[in-house]
Structure 1
Amino acid sequence: MTGGMIIRDAHFPGRAPIDAYGNGGFRFAGMSHRGSILCLPSGIHGWEPADPENLGEEDFARVIAEAAEVEVLLVGMGRDLRRLPAALRQALRDAGLSSDPMSTGSAVRTYNVLLAEDRAVAAALVAVE
């Protein structure tokens, strides 16, 4: 036994509605997570985009890997709506993903509605304070 702390990638292996957001994180499935998250068919994953103000294709590698199982991708951009960079929009389109950028609050609400309708929805949610 090493006695050290083991740090694992944050992952909840299922689909769950987002119960709350703010204070730099999210609450779902009776748990809380500090930081941004990806809500995918494979579960909810901790997400650390290189620059939340300028998202890039590399930030969406896990999303693109699961694109075949996703009908719509909601992108919570933080407090304010911003356009996705053109190169990222094209990469998502090339993967067959329809992306819809919006504020994180709007993305959480829309994600919960589509999840309740059992739609093939995914969300990339930038945490807000």
Structure 2
Amino acid sequence: MRLNEVVFNDAKPVEGYGPGFFRIGGQVIHGPVITAQTGTQTWGGLGDTDPLVALAGQTDVIFIGTGAEIAHLPPEMIATLEAAGVGVEAMASPAAARTYNVLLSEGRRVALALLPI
């Protein structure tokens, strides 16, 4: 078996999560969070689309973690992001974090918005 070192370039991977927090790039953040090539910041949740729209042109898809269980995104949120040309995929936060890390390690243009579990 051959092991390859994963290089994440400028973006930071999700290293862990627990009740109410995420650890991204060595930093613990409590509450909802967004992370992308441009950095990591707190997030206002599903009604806060401005920071997601700001990623248009810099990312191909944003994975949105909806907490411990998968949930439907608000229709207004989907419409706003699609109008800005931002692809979006909703899934449970643990699955979103894993998917983001894998695609990030492949050098893909991805972003992540997470609600805590």
TM bin (shorter chain):
0.7 to 0.9
Given residue 126 of structure 1, which amino acid in structure 2 is its aligned partner? L
* 2:11 paired with 1:15: yes
Question: Is this contact kept in 2: 1:78–1:127, CA < 8 A?
Answer: yes
State how 1:40-51 maps to structure 2 within 5 Å. 40-49=36-45
Question: Is this contact kept in 1: 2:53–2:84, CA < 8 A?
Answer: yes
Correspondence for 2:115 among 116, 126, 129? 126
| Counterpart in the other structure of 2:87 | 98
* 2:50 paired with 1:24: no
Equivalenced residues, count? 108
Q: Deviation digits for residues 59-79 of structure 1, max 9, x if unmatched?
A: 020110121101011000001
Given residue 71 of structure 1, which amino acid in structure 2 is its aligned partner? D
Question: Is this contact kept in 1: 2:12–2:37, CA < 8 A?
Answer: no
In 2, the alpha carbon distance for the partners of 1:124 and 1:30 equals: 17
Correspondence for 1:39 among 31, 35, 40? 35
| Counterpart in the other structure of 1:11 | none
Q: CA deviation at 1:41?
A: 2.6
Normalized per residue, the structure richer in helix is: 1
* TM-score relative to the length of structure 2: 0.86
In 1, the alpha carbon distance for the partners of 2:115 and 2:104 equals: 19
* 2:96 paired with 1:107: yes
| Counterpart in the other structure of 1:82 | 71
Q: CA deviation at 1:40?
A: 2.3
Aligned CA RMSD, in angstroms, stands at 1.2
**Larger-gyration structure (1/2):** 1
In 2, the alpha carbon distance for the partners of 1:122 and 1:73 equals: 5
In 1, the alpha carbon distance for the partners of 2:87 and 2:37 equals: 15
Given residue 59 of structure 2, which amino acid in structure 1 is its aligned partner? V
* TM-score relative to the length of structure 1: 0.79
